[in-house]
Amino acid sequence: MYFNLVKIFMPTAVAFFLGLFFTPFATHFFYKYKMWKKYSRSIGATNSDFQKINNEKEELKTPRVGGIIIWISVLTTVLIFYLVSIFFPGANSTELNFLSRNQTLIPLFTLLIGSLIGLWDDFIQIYGTGKFARDDKSWRKWKIFIIAFMSLFIGLWFFYKLGLTSIHIPFGGDINLDILIIPFFIIVALATFSGGVIDGIDGLSGGVLASIFGAYSAIAYVNHQMDIAAFAGVITGAILAFLWFNIPPARFYMGETGIMGLTLTLATLAFLTDSVLILPVVALPLVLTSLSVILQIASKKLRGGKRLFRLAPLHHHFEAIGWSPYKVTMRFWIFSTLFAIIGIILAVISR
């Protein structure tokens, strides 16, 4: 039992300190090559509330690829513990290695591929020209297609390689989906990715995602999936290192290279821990953020342009009604931590 806790917390701490170590070098690189958006979100904006809260000067001078620090820290931590188990074989070093085919190989793959595709998206908006560089609707449709294609591959791996065919219904047993597990994963992955719009205020996404991945580390621990617990802990530690420098005023933003990789990995971990129906509770801030955008669009179309919120996503609504960015961020952190705890409790008692 105690060694299992060491297996989780030691890599978590290593990932955190690696992130702190990498950041000064990464920051120098980010600013040297001016890795920030070329076009502000305020271009063409007519909403007075948006113009009031948008800091165009800050947005166009702050690098948007800070998520690199997260996945580089995770990858380095995984390699360190794997190589130690290879070159210094022994009971303890082997046990501390958390890279395994049935638990962590696919989420690690998801994190890296999703992050690299997200980095490509960031580079388009940093160095590109034309409508794609402005993240227009046509490019967003392409991103949805890319996410769906990646999710199809992961769903196929779940079904054919891991034999995953059912999901657990809290307090209600299991339901067998058979091959329908594949499209169901695609839907969940797209829904989780849509919550990535929470990356809109300094420190907001980092604090929220750290709580969510920390919760999944605890859920995996309760399920005796120690490799997944360690992996989710490592992601948590890397996010906390990112957050150290992302609190206001942010030294960099997470960008798509962070959001895309993390949200896809989150959906993957939810399936691997058989707690996908608890995901909306653990990740409730992401759900509400995504839902606020959907409701805002529906309201405009169905109510003749009338808005349901002053602004969407939800965190910008609170800014528009007078909350300071600090207040929004801190309250979202509290809210996220609370529902992460509730999600852990549900995962434990619903079996």
Count of Cβ atoms closer than 10 Å to residue 28 Cβ: 10
What is the mean pLDDT of the segment spanning 276-282? 97
What is the mean pLDDT of the segment spanning 245-270? 95
pLDDT in tens, 306-334: 899 999 999 999 999 999 999 999 999 99
Q: Evaluate whether residue 334 is within a structural domain.
A: no
Tokens of 240: 């906390």
Cβ proximity of 73 and 240 under 8 Å = no
Q: Evaluate whether residue 82 is within a structural domain.
A: yes
pLDDT in tens, 144-175: 999 999 999 999 999 999 999 999 999 888 99
Q: Evaluate whether residue 241 is within a structural domain.
A: yes
What is the mean pLDDT of the segment spanning 22-45? 81
Show the DSSP H helices in the chain as ranges: 2-32, 48-53, 56-59, 67-87, 91-96, 105-127, 137-156, 181-194, 204-222, 226-246, 256-272, 279-282, 284-302, 314-320, 325-349
Q: Evaluate whether residue 296 is within a structural domain.
A: no
The whole-number pLDDT of residue 135 equals 65
DSSP string, 215-239: HHHHHHHHTT-HHHHHHHHHHHHHH
The whole-number pLDDT of residue 43 equals 47
Percent of the chain exceeding pLDDT 90 equals 78
Q: Which of 42-51, 71-80, 88-97, 119-128 has the highest mean pLDDT?
A: 71-80
The whole-number pLDDT of residue 345 equals 96
Stated pTM of the model: 0.94
What is the mean pLDDT of the segment spanning 59-67? 86
pLDDT in tens, 210-240: 999 999 999 999 999 999 999 999 999 999 9
Q: Evaluate whether residue 118 is within a structural domain.
A: yes
Q: How confident is the model at residue 44 (pLDDT cuts 50, 70, 90)?
A: very low
Q: Evaluate whether residue 331 is within a structural domain.
A: no
| Minimum mean pLDDT range among 56-65, 101-110, 263-272, 331-340 | 56-65
Tokens of 4: 């299992």
Cβ proximity of 190 and 144 under 8 Å = yes
Q: Evaluate whether residue 284 is within a structural domain.
A: no
Q: How far apart are CA 211 and CA 235, in angstroms?
A: 11
Contacts for 76 with CB less than 8 Å, ≥ 6 apart: 15, 18, 22
Domain range for 51 is 2-277
Q: Which residues of 133-157 are buried (b: 16+ CB within 10 A; e: fewer)?
A: bbbeeebeeebeebbeebbeebbeb
Percent of the chain exceeding pLDDT 70 equals 91
State the DSSP H helix or E strand holding residue 135, giving kind and residue range, or none if neither. Answer: none
Output the average pLDDT for the chain: 91
Q: How confident is the model at residue 51 (pLDDT cuts 50, 70, 90)?
A: low
Q: How confident is the model at residue 49 (pLDDT cuts 50, 70, 90)?
A: low
Number of structural domains found in the chain: 1
What is the mean pLDDT of the segment spanning 328-345? 97
Looking at the DSSP assignment, which residues form a beta bridge with residue 216?
none
Report CA torsion sign: 110, 124, 286, 150.
Answer: negative
Tokens of 134: 């402005």
The whole-number pLDDT of residue 106 equals 95
Q: Evaluate whether residue 309 is within a structural domain.
A: no
pLDDT in tens, 110-149: 999 999 999 999 998 898 776 666 666 777 788 899 999 9
pLDDT in tens, 176-202: 999 999 999 999 999 999 998 998 899
- For residues 211 and 37, the model is more confident at 211
